[in-house]
Structures are given as structure tokens and as C-alpha cells.
Structure 1
């Protein structure tokens, strides 16, 4: 039995059909019952008459037009007293239930919303302009929420049930979705959707947002052109992937780029790009392809650049070895709260590879592989800033040495309560300046002057 049929049966259990009466003549509770009754009749008619295809946008538009036609036909015959707004509301609800994601569809269509978080049927939060807000959207009950979850995962060829209660996947539009259900989610089914922008941010956008300055953008562009190995570090939701995407846009057009991600989020515009994505295990627990598998395979694909969306585990060792064996100019991200912290995290990840390496050997690998750390932070006001650009300058004894090139300095708050600050040079020139000069990159003499 398909989703639409089950939804129709749920609605039939909830609603007893009544004689069509003008909604305007009823009290609020009666009006609500009549509304449900009318929507049920329309829904049943849609189930019977509409063939739903998700092959392309033209198919979806045809389905939407057909649904609106049915809505108008039923209303004209049974509820002609409905206002235009009420008719449009019914049509929108039916469309959202059949070809959309139910109540959360308007949130996903809102360009100001970056993330949608469903915590059970009665609580839906959104992130808008970096701030979390409780929306007024709810589901009827857990069953309704489960139906929407099925609508999300079924086209992806994924399964979610008690034996496999978690799904992490990419929607057809590129948005990333994570779903976890009971018994693991105690408050009911939970959905987290990080929306995918049709128009990815550019370097000019990040300069306008204050994430970086024009001088820092020029510096990062020079580092990418000089084939430095760069890691973008930051906490969850700090904007690492966005910054990685912008930095990757500096890669020259004539290079072959291999991107490796758990769920493809990078949106590079260069012509010669090969995009690789991991695969979860099947129902029998077999067939998984990990980031580490793809990193190893990418070395046989004649890459000029390897970009790993995020390193979390043993693939860090393979990434470091690639950087140290001729695949310079590679880029990746990782979770850490400071440049020093990312070094400790990389050590831990290398040990997770199963290789029994001495700590000093691991640190030597890191210090020789990583040239630059770009630290990204989500500030208390919700804004996302690059707070450190730090050079990995070598080793002293058993300790990896770091040198901050640019540091973000807070300067108080503006009239709207937003944090004011600037990413300023520390006065130290990076030790890889000779490498920049050898590749023909010339930076302004005062770029690194302390302010």
C-alpha cells in the first residue's frame, strides 16, 4: 500500500464525513471538522485519479496542476462558499502531502531558513540568519511524521525502521538530511535537514558577510594557487563547508579535481571535477564504501587536487600520506575548536586507522603535510567568522609549531547587538612566502603588517 493510500486511511479514521455546509456558518470546532472532511474527499480523489511521478520538474508541475484542478472541482460542487484564501490553503496542503514533505514544505522553500529540525510531531525549530527559532509548524501525530519520513527516504532507496533506525543521506536537491527514530529518539522521530543553496556563496559574499576580508581572500587565493595543503577547522554549524567551497573555487580551471564526501555538498564550478560519495551498508550490513576507501581509490585517478569534505577517522592517515607523496594542494575540513586542537584531533584520527605508529611519527606526518589551518567559528550572535589563519611551521622537539598569520579581534557590538570585529594580520610573515614567490604569486608588501 502506497503512502497516499495509507494517509487516506489515517484521515478516514480521524474524520467522519459530514454533509457539506458553508464553513463561514460554523463555530471554530465545526469549521475544523468540515475542513478536514473536505480535505479528505479531495485527498481520496487525488489518490484515485493522479499518477504521481518524481522524474523531473515538469512531471511535478503537471501533478501540481492536476491536483489544483481536482481541488477546484470538489470545492465548486461541495463547498463553493470557501474564500479564495481557504481554497488556496487546501490546495497547498494537499500538494505538500502528495508531492512535498508535508507541513515542513514551506520551511524548506523559505530562502531565509538554513536548517530545519523536527523534534517529534509537536516541535519544529529552524535556523534563520544564524539563530534558532521555534516555528508554529506541527504534525498531527507520530504516524503523520512517519509518513513524511517515508516520503523522504523512499525515493533515496533507503530504509528506516527499528532494525535500522538512522539514516544520513542527500536529498535530490542536494540538501543533507539526518533521520533518527525510536527507540533511539526518545521524544519521537527526529529529522534534521541542512538546506542546499541553489546559488552557493562566493568569495564576495563571505567578504560582505564579514566572514573574511578582501586581503584574507587574496592571501587564501595565493595559497591555493601555490598548492599549499589547507585544512578548514571549526565546530558544528560554523560554516566549514561553505568556506571550503569558496577556497576551492580558487583552484585553476586546468586542473583535475576529485571531491570525496559522505553526502555531496560542495558546489565547485570548474569544468574538470569528479565527485565521489560514500555508500552506507545494505540491509545485510554489507557493501559499505567509506571515505577512506574513496581516498585510496582517488590516488589511482590521476588527481591534481583531492578535496575531502570532512575527515573524521582513519582516512586522516591516507589524506596526510597523499599530501606527503606528491598530491599537494589538497583541501579538507575537520571538527576542532582551535588550530592547536585540530592537531590533537588529527593525531587521534590517525590512530583510529589501526596503524600502530609512534606519536612523534604521526606529528612529523602532520607537520610536513599541513601547511595552513583556517579556523572557522560561529560567534554568539550567530554570525560565522574566520577567527584564525595559522601556519604549521614545523616541529621543535616533539611539538608541532604554529604561527598565527591573521587573527579575528572582537571590537564590541553594533546597535543591533551583532558582534563587531576584524580579521587582522599579526605582523608575522608566513614561512612559505618563498613558495608563493616561486609560483609567481606577488602579495602586497604591507599585507602582513600588524594593525
Structure 2
């Protein structure tokens, strides 16, 4: 999208809120910006000036920020010279964010302590900070303002949202995951949920420092990835599955060809040979959709050494299991489940969603043969994320898939601040695939499997 096209999109009229909508607002949300009219006036003038500047000087993205800052400053000095300098600076920042950023959300995007942003209509914005959800004092002008920000997020990546397609998954430039849903599905107005990712992807040392896992579990999982075991990371929403997947994927050797498959590309792999595939929604005629199943099948023709699937939710689970069973060892994926055993049940259900009429025993045999390790991640009561189980899939015994825990997290209680107190412990069981790890030339000290006192 050219600069001119981008700026033309900024000319979205601001709806004046009617009396009915004003009455429906809660007292907390009736906060009025005393400079709102001034900002709207300057915003429109900035867009007009930028269009002239782009046509005259042929500006590029690199020079756009600086030019907008200069134009906003000049207009403010002319029309709002009576305001204190600090207030003019604040207004200038808000206008620049509105023109080239995500408006009121820009400050939250930049705040490294914020891990999740939740916009519940124009007058309610929550964030997650250090595991705690708190309401901010940020508000939008009205519903059209929120819609404008959603459009700025989804348009650059070729997605759309309107009444005919009122839900969308997207991503920001830094890979942060975005979901938006609008009326008539959302009765509270347009809603945005942004799952932020660190600008510098977390490394295994960061997870050890956070207490997500122990150093022994880190050594064990690194050995599992390097020796090409198939791993499933399971957990609930917001438990840190994608972060864990990103960290484990970093252990894949640099000389291997990796194909990643996601609904919205968010993995941040640093290896040289990475192919990133992303699903595509149907067009306005309901055609042209490319699903996870399509991409998993296609990835098998791309000569991958590793297949990394962001999350299995439906029939693609069958294709993923078949890939794991037909020579694509070392594959990684995530799935929603509360325990390792639940993850197996979910996989059975997802395989059945593929439309294949397979007997349950056959499905379980596929799962037992394909998956080597389940890593269970949970978000605890205090907001912290912990790997609570590292579990080996041993095989079949009768009609049941046999699991055995290698490491678990033992919660001992909470401290006076409400923080969870506990520790990661080995169960004392040595995994059966340890021989396979050692055959790859990776030596793990046996002591890491000894239970601590």
C-alpha cells in the first residue's frame, strides 16, 4: 500500500456520538478530552498537508515520521500557541500516533510490561501486566474510531473485516497476535485483543529466570529437540504455549530446513533456512480459503527437515500425526488442553473432525506412535506461567495410551503477596527414548532424572 493510499485511509469521518449512546455510557467512561476538537481539526489538516508533501517531494516511509512531526509541530504552534509546551507535546504525540500508529493503543504497544491488550468497545481498555489484568484510563472517541484502528491493523496484511466477515485474525509488524470481532457479533462494540510478543524473543535462560521451568528440564527439552523427538506443547489460553514453542524451536540446528505453519504468522525463528506459511481466509464470495490442513499437506512436498505447526485445532491433527509417522521426525506443535491426558483426548477428537471414519484404537495407535513428549504449560493463579508436566508417551497397553511423567511442578502454597510457591522435580523415571537421544551423540547426565529430596 502506497503512502498516498495509507493517508487517504486516514480520512475516515469521525461520527458524532448521539444522545442515546451518551446516556448508555457508564460514569467512568464519560471522560471528555478537552482538546478532542482541536486534535480532530489538526489531524485532518495533517493528512491534507502530507498528501501535498508526498506528491511534491516523493516522500518514503523513512522520511514520513519526521515530516509528520514537523507538520504537527508547526500547526500546533500556529493554532495552539496559548497552550503550555508540555501539553502541545502530548497533543502532538497523540496526533502522530493517530496518523502513522495505532492511535490510543500505541503507548501500550511500546510498554514492555504489557503482555496483552483487550479493547472492549470504545470506552473500556484492559491490559495484562505481570500476569495481572487491570483497566486503563484509555478511551476511544467512538465505535468508528475503534473500527479505524482495526482497519489499520488488518489492511496491510491483506485481510478485511466488515459485517459480512465480522471476525479476523491478524498480526502486527513485530509478530504480535491480533484478534478483532465487531457488531453484529459483538454486542459491546468492536473488540480487539492483542497478544504481544517481546521485541527480543525469549530465550531458554529467560524462562528459567521466570521460573517457567528448571535448568534440568531445559537441558532435557533441548536434547529432545536436537535428537528429533516429536513434541506437543499443551496448555490453556494465555498459558505461554507459543512462547514455549518459539524457545524450543530455537534448539533446531541451523543446517535444517524448517517449515512453520500458522493461522497468523507469529513465530520468530532465528535459523537461516525457515519457510513461513500462513492460512488465508475466504474472500467476499466465500471462496479461496487456505486452511491449516491444506498447508500441512503442502509442507510435506517442500522437503522439510522439521515441521512446526503453530496450533492444531481440527482435522489438520490427522495430517500432522501422519507426517510425524512417515519420516518427519522432530516436528513440534501446540494444542489446547488442561493436562497431558486431556491433550490425547483432544487429539482423538481433532482427528475425527477430519472426516475420516477411523476406529478409536487406530487413532490412538497413530498418536502413540507419532508423539514422544507432551509439555504441559499452565497459567497459575498468580499469573505466572509454569511447565507443570513433561510427560513421555510410552505406547499402547490394550486400548489405552500409556503416559509417564518425567518432570512435574509441585505447588507448595502461596506467599504473603499471593505468589505461587513451588518447585520443579524429577519423578525418578528415566525415559525410554533416552537411548535414542544418546544415539544422536547427546549425553544427558542421569542425575537430572533423580528426584530431589
TM-score (norm 1): 0.91
2:80/2:88 contact within 8 Å kept? no
Q: Aligned partners of 1:84 and 1:443: how far apart in 2?
A: 62
Q: Secondary structure at the match of 2:10?
A: helix
Residue in 2 aligned with 1:50? 50
Change (3 A) 1:254 1:153: closer
Q: Aligned partners of 1:91 and 1:260: how far apart in 2?
A: 41
Aligned residues: 429
| Of 1, 5, 9, the match for 2:11 | 5
What is the Cα deviation at residue 447 of structure 1? 1.3
Deviates more, 1:180-189 or 1:434-443: 434-443
Asked whether 1:269 is paired with 2:270, we answer yes
What is the Cα deviation at residue 80 of structure 1? 2.0
Deviates more, 1:117-126 or 1:40-49: 40-49
Residue in 2 aligned with 1:296? 297
Q: Any idea what the Cα deviations from partners look like across 1:91-140, whole Å, max 9, x if unmatched?
A: 01211221111111111111111111100111111111111111110111
1:45/1:70 contact within 8 Å kept? no
Asked whether 1:285 is paired with 2:286, we answer yes
- When the two chains are superposed, the root-mean-square deviation of aligned CA atoms in Å is 2.1
2:225/2:248 contact within 8 Å kept? yes
Asked whether 1:91 is paired with 2:74, we answer no
Change (3 A) 1:45 1:231: same
Point out where structure 1 has 5 or more consecutive residues left out of the alignment.
Answer: 15-30
Change (3 A) 1:425 1:275: same
What is the Cα deviation at residue 280 of structure 1? 1.1
What is the Cα deviation at residue 329 of structure 1? 1.1
Change (3 A) 1:342 1:78: closer
What is the Cα deviation at residue 59 of structure 1? 4.2
1:75/1:82 contact within 8 Å kept? no
Pairing 1:365-444 to 2, within 5 Å after superposition: 365-444=366-445
Q: Secondary structure at the match of 1:411?
A: strand
1:5/1:47 contact within 8 Å kept? yes
1:116/1:126 contact within 8 Å kept? yes
Residue in 2 aligned with 1:236? 237
TM-score (norm 2): 0.90
Q: Aligned partners of 1:96 and 1:315: how far apart in 2?
A: 40
Change (3 A) 1:44 1:436: closer
1:68/1:91 contact within 8 Å kept? yes
What is the Cα deviation at residue 417 of structure 1? 2.4
Point out where structure 2 has 5 or more consecutive residues left out of the alignment.
Answer: 1-6, 20-31
Residue in 2 aligned with 1:329? 330
Deviates more, 1:206-215 or 1:71-80: 71-80
2:17/2:142 contact within 8 Å kept? no
Q: Any idea what the Cα deviations from partners look like across 1:43-92, whole Å, max 9, x if unmatched?
A: 23212111398xxxx94563332233233323333332211111111101
